[in-house]
């Protein structure tokens, strides 16, 4: 594949029958071992309900990492799926480990349970998603387990999966059979009461949140289609029965809600989305869930939703028992750049002035991290409102200011001038200079325009759903980021209709969004040179360590390689566009794959140096996890590639362990 075709693909990324049982001897042993499993296992997507992605295991460490070898590989069979939609599939799942079994999903929501020591299959469940439909996203990031591993009640474990076709399903963890007493024969139709517009564009791609006896679920929506899209409601269901406990709409309708006054006129009735498509976090002690919300519809023109649009583009703390808003913090006012809160809000404890502060770290596509007190939403590091560029588009109304944290500093560039243009050759650099000079480019938050705007960062981030990890001992936060600016252009409706009639929309390398119900359609593409490399200086992907004691960046290292550029001098310093998060262990290691090559890497937690690389059978756009069984530590990652990113695909789950252990 040539570079140009390769980056063209990148453009399309945007991103128990009964709950009480009589114990057998084996079940009693499992119940007694749940506390130890919680310490050595990985019971939730981000290991804990707050997504810290930290493991206290240290058998694998900086001294012996060179002995890490493949222990077993499991094939899911997803590579054999022949549906047309499979071409865009992405294997993004992180397995969980509870009660001595690994559980995960394929991109098509097939749930699989494995023996964690040998990778042998225990059971599978296929929800029979209709793959003949066209789905906005073809991925599933995993499953959730209830009750929590530290729960002392003698309750049968359930595994919950939310599907591409918007169902919530409860499975018996021991057998994989649907729990008949949950919902209707084990499942709930999530498409109810959301103002369904297009079936294939209302999905769930992330695992539900679990808090107490509640299962909380958001939704993923195909964006840029129009003003009146599906509503991004967040709902809580009883874990036993599936009964709806509460529903919260991030677009407020209640006129007594102060946030409602930040939606002009009837826009809160018409607009959709603002949905929570990423991972929701839970704090059982505080009784709160933390919801990351997206842009309201449509993404790139807000003339039909004037105002700040509060609760959208925010982290919102809800009372888990009622769905009531406790506090919210908006990271972008009146979003026009597709700057969803795509990362799981990470719940961590910070050491500040001799005391422990329960905090939530909010990573953003803008490459900024907001660190807040999770009890009340107040910033731990100061945040200030700064003036930003204003719109020149008739009908639009931009926010005069946007919030910026004083610390940490932005992890990616926030401006791109023509003189900053980069290229592999002088010809490439000159072409990039000319392209940038023709566009409106006044730094981050330059609004979309009719002449074309440089969006920096682009809508893939900065940070994306890949999220962050946190070492509580060193107080270090780790995250992988992208550095890829985009061109964004608004197209008057008549002009766009004419382009569609002549087929012109099919002859360009970028992506159109019809934005029905507004005067403008949208076009976007990454800013690339003629040879197909970004117009911005590398690294295009990196791993960053942030010291949350001080707010300063401790180190940053290029992450991954782009295979098509491997022959160029210093290509190892370019880094790679990346999707898939990191994890950190007590062994002093940060594990991450995510890049476009087929490697899992271990970075030294203190220095940021790569000290180990493991070869994978396919690219891994997923986050790794780790656990210990029979005294042996394993590191596991899903390696199946990403159809939209154009990486090498497969259907492998790969486990590593120390040779000779």
> With contact defined as beta carbons under 8 Å apart, do 571 and 394 qualify?
no
Q: Residue 319 in contact with residue 342, Cβ under 8 Å?
A: no
- Label residues 619-630 b or e (16+ Cβ within 10 Å = b): bbbbbbbbbbbe
Closest by Cα among 386, 391, 384 to 337: 391
How many whole angstroms separate alpha carbon 643 and alpha carbon 88? Answer: 4
Contact 306/496 with Cβ under 8 angstroms? no
Q: In angstroms, rounded to a whole number, what is the distance separating the alpha carbons of residues 535 and 485?
A: 8
Instruction: Map residue 273 onto helix, strand or coil.
Output: strand
Closest by alpha carbon to 363, among 374, 373, 372, 376? 372
Does the annotation count 99 as an active-site position?
Answer: no
Q: Positive or negative, the Cα torsion across 371, 374, 376, 377?
A: positive
Q: Which of the following is catalytic: 48, 99, 338, 340?
A: 338
Quote the CA–CA distance of 87 and 85 in Å, as a whole number: 5
Cβ count within 10 A of residue 189: 12
CA atoms within 13 A on the CB side of 205: 24
- Cβ-proximal residues to 570 (8 Å cutoff; 6+ apart), any chain: none
> What is the Cα–Cα distance from 626 to 641, expressed in whole angstroms?
20
- Catalytic residue numbers read 338
């Amino acid at each position: 594949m040539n570079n140009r075709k390769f980056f063209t693909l990148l453009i399309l990324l945007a991103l128990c029958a009964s709950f009480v049982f009589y114990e057998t001897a084996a079940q009693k042993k499992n119940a007694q071992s749940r506390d130890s499993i919680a310490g050595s296992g990985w019971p939730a997507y981000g290991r804990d309900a707050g997504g810290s992605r930290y493991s206290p295991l240290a058998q694998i460490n900086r001294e012996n990492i060179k002995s890490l070898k493949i222990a077993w590989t499991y094939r899911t069979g997803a590579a054999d799926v022949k549906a047309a939609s499979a071409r865009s599939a992405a294997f993004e799942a992180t397995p969980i480990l509870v009660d001595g079994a690994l559980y995960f999903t394929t991109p098509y929501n097939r749930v699989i349970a494995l023996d964690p020591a040998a990778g042998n299959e225990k059971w599978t469940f296929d929800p029979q998603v209709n793959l003949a439909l066209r789905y906005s996203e073809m991925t599933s990031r995993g499953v959730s387990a209830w009750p929590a591993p530290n729960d002392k009640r003698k309750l049968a474990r359930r595994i919950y999966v939310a599907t591409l076709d918007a169902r919530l399903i409860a499975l018996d963890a021991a057998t994989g059979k649907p729990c008949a007493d949950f919902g209707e024969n084990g499942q709930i139709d999530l498409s109810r009461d959301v103002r369904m517009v297009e079936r294939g564009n209302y999905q769930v791609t992330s695992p539900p949140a679990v808090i107490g006896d509640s299962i909380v679920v958001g939704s993923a929506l195909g964006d840029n289609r129009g003003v009146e899209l599906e509503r991004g409601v967040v709902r809580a269901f009883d874990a036993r029965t599936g009964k709806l406990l509460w529903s919260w709409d991030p677009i407020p309708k209640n006129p007594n809600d102060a946030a409602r006054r930040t939606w002009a006129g009837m826009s809160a009735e018409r607009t959709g989305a603002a949905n929570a498509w990423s991972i929701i976090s839970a704090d059982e002690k505080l009784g709160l869930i933390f919801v990351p919300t997206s842009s309201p519809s449509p993404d790139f023109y807000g003339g039909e939703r004037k105002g700040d649009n509060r609760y959208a583009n925010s982290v919102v703390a809800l009372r888990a028992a009622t769905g009531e808003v406790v506090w919210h913090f908006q990271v972008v006012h009146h979003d026009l750049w597709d700057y969803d809160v795509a990362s799981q809000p990470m719940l961590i404890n910070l050491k500040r002035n001799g005391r422990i502060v329960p905090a939530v770290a909010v990573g953003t596509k803008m490459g900024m991290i907001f660190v807040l007190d999770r009890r009340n939403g107040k910033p731990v590091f100061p945040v200030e409102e700064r003036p930003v560029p204003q719109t020149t588009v008739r009908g639009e109304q931009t926010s005069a200011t946007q919030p910026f944290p004083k610390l940490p500093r932005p992890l990616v560039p926030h401006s791109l001038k023509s003189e900053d243009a980069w290229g592999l050759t002088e010809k490439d650099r000159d072409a990039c200079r000319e392209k940038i000079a023709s566009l409106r480019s006044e730094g981050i938050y330059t609004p979309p325009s009719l002449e074309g705007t440089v969006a920096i960062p682009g809508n893939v981030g900065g940070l994306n759903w890949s999220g962050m990890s946190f070492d509580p001992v060193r107080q270090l936060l780790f995250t992988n980021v992208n550095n890829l600016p985009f061109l964004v252009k608004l197209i008057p409706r008549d002009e766009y209709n004419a382009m569609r009639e002549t087929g012109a929309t099919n002859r360009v390398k970028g992506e159109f969004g019809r934005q029905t119900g507004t005067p403008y359609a949208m076009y976007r593409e990454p800013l690339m040179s003629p040879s197909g490399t970004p117009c911005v200086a590398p690294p295009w992907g990196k791993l960053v360590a942030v010291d949350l004691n001080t707010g300063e960046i401790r180190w940053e290292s290029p992450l991954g390689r782009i295979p098509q550029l491997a022959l160029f001098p210093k290509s190892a310093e370019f880094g790679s566009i990346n999707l898939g998060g990191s994890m950190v262990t007590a062994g002093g290691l940060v594990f991450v794959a995510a890049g476009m090559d087929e490697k899992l890497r271990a970075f030294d937690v203190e220095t940021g140096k790569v000290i180990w690389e493991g070869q994978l059978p396919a690219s891994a756009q997923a986050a790794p996890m780790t656990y210990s069984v029979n005294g042996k530590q394993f590191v596991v990652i899903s390696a199946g590639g990403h159809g939209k990113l154009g990486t090498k695909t497969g259907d492998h789950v790969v486990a590593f362990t120390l040779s000779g252990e």
